[in-house]
């Protein structure tokens, strides 16, 4: 349940606790809170546990330069650390960080990991039941793994053939298509959720975590089947916010474990990443002739420049150019009998 905000003591005067309270009052997402706190803690440890109030522009520059020069971090990582420190000083302390002069990280264009259709089929053949359905959904809809795991029963709209993505990246809602081939499997998965939920209620549990203030607005919704997670955890555990024993969704590490095993067993010589199925979804749609704007909306990208990265990995044989060697007459039979010479000769 590490995606649920834990409670913090209102009376605590500890720096990190006070900072967390300030971030929550500012209305930032929990992922942003976790990220900012992480980088601020690294900043404090970098400066030998000195309090940030004792530090300033010079120390911030040293930390950011260290990330690029000594840690070889990416430009995006350095930007995230900068955002965290700007929030700390400008919004929390009310101190300006104008005139920062640090060594910027080098920006390299990294192409996404994309599985071919043959590789997708090979990977899926190594998966069964729920893990297979989860991977098929990521590949068939472009969902991020966190968005997939956060799906509730009510988010599968069979009537409109849509999947509703609630509070995706950037805390935005969107819809994506519901693959027709997966409808019977999703219906069976929902039936399993109903049976498991009935067992939980009979055992004295059954309340699921509701985000924001929905628990107060809809006091009975936590026990409603519609609000149950589509891919529930196999265990019941204490909620970090209330301490109540609840069944949350499957943990991301469990999904990653299934993917790693399947990719290895399929003999696919590419990194095993859940996000690669989202990349494959976008790339294969582009290869099929769908326009970038449509793919951008399905992926939930705010900037089409982010979607354009997939134009560099479509299966067009080097941007549609035919290699000169492919124009040569077939002479493989002759070459197989050609003598092999050593470098010395």
- Just list the catalytic residues: 144, 169, 275, 278, 301, 310
Question: 15-93 in CATH: which number?
Answer: 1.10.150.130
* Summary mean pLDDT of the chain: 86
pLDDT at 152 over 70: yes
Q: Which of 25-34, 61-70, 268-277 has the lowest mean pLDDT?
A: 25-34
**What are 46-59's pLDDT values in tens digits?**
999 999 999 999 99
**pLDDT at residue number 86:** 94
pLDDT at 183 over 60: yes
pLDDT over 90, % of the chain: 51
pLDDT at 173 over 90: no
> What average pLDDT score do residues 324-336 get?
64
- In the chain, where the domains are located: 15-93, 111-317
**What are 5-18's pLDDT values in tens digits?**
777 777 778 999 99
Three state DSSP letters for the chain: CCCCCCCCCCCCCCHHHHHHHHHHHCCCCHHHHHHHHHHHHHHHHHCCCCCHHHCCHHHHHHHHHHHHHCCCCCHHHHHHHHHHHHHHHHHHHCCCCCCCCCCCCCCCCCCCCCCCHHHHHHHHCCCCHHHHHHHHHHHHHCCCHHHHHCCEHHHEECCCCEEEECCCCCCCCEEEECCHHHHHHHHHHHHHHHHHHHHHHHCCCCCCCCCCCHHHHCCCHHHCHHHCECCEEEEEEECCCCCCEEEEECCHHHHHHHHHHHHHHCCCCCCCCCHHHHHHHHHHHHHCCCCHHHHHHHHCCCCHHHHHHHHHCCCCCCCCCCCHHHHCCCCHHHHHCCCCCCCCC
**pLDDT at residue number 262:** 96
Is pLDDT larger for residue 287 or for residue 218?
287
**Domain at 111-317: CATH architecture:** Orthogonal Bundle (1.10)
pLDDT at 345 over 50: no
pLDDT at 43 over 70: yes
**What are 124-142's pLDDT values in tens digits?**
999 999 999 999 999 999 9
């Amino acid at each position: 349940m590490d995606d649920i905000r834990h409670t913090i003591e209102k009376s605590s005067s500890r720096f990190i606790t006070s900072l967390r309270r300030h971030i929550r009052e500012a209305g930032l997402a929990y992922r942003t809170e976790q990220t900012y706190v992480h980088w601020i803690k690294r900043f404090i440890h970098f400066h030998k546990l000195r309090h940030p109030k004792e530090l300033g522009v010079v120390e911030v520059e040293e930390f950011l330069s260290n990330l690029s020069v000594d840690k070889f971090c990416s430009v995006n990582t350095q930007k995230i650390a900068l955002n965290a420190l700007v929030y700390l000083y400008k919004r929390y302390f009310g101190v300006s960080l104008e005139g920062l002069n640090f060594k910027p990280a080098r920006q390299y264009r990294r192409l996404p990991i994309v599985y071919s259709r043959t590789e997708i089929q090979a990977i899926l053949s190594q998966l069964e039941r729920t893990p297979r359905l989860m991977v098929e959904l990521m590949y068939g809809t472009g969902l991020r793994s966190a968005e997939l795991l956060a799906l509730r029963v009510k988010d599968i709209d069979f009537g409109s053939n849509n999947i509703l993505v609630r509070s995706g990246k950037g805390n935005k809602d969107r819809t994506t298509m519901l693959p027709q081939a997966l409808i019977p499997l999703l219906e069976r998965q929902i039936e399993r959720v109903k049976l498991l939920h009935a067992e939980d209620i009979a055992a004295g549990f059954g309340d699921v975590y509701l985000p924001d203030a929905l628990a107060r607005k809809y006091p009975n919704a936590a026990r409603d089947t519609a609000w149950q997670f589509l891919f529930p955890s196999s265990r019941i555990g204490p909620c970090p916010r209330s301490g109540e024993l609840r069944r949350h969704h499957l943990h991301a590490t469990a999904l990653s474990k299934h993917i790693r095993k399947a990719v290895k067993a399929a003999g696919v010589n590419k990194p095993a990443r859940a996000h690669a199925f989202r990349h494959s979804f976008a790339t294969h749609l582009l290869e099929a002739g769908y326009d970038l704007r449509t793919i951008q909306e399905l992926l939930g990208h705010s900037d089409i420049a982010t979607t354009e990265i997939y134009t560099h990995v479509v299966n067009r044989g080097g941007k549609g150019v035919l290699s000169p060697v492919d124009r040569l007459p077939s002479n493989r039979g002759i070459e197989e009998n050609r003598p092999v010479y050593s470098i010395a000769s």
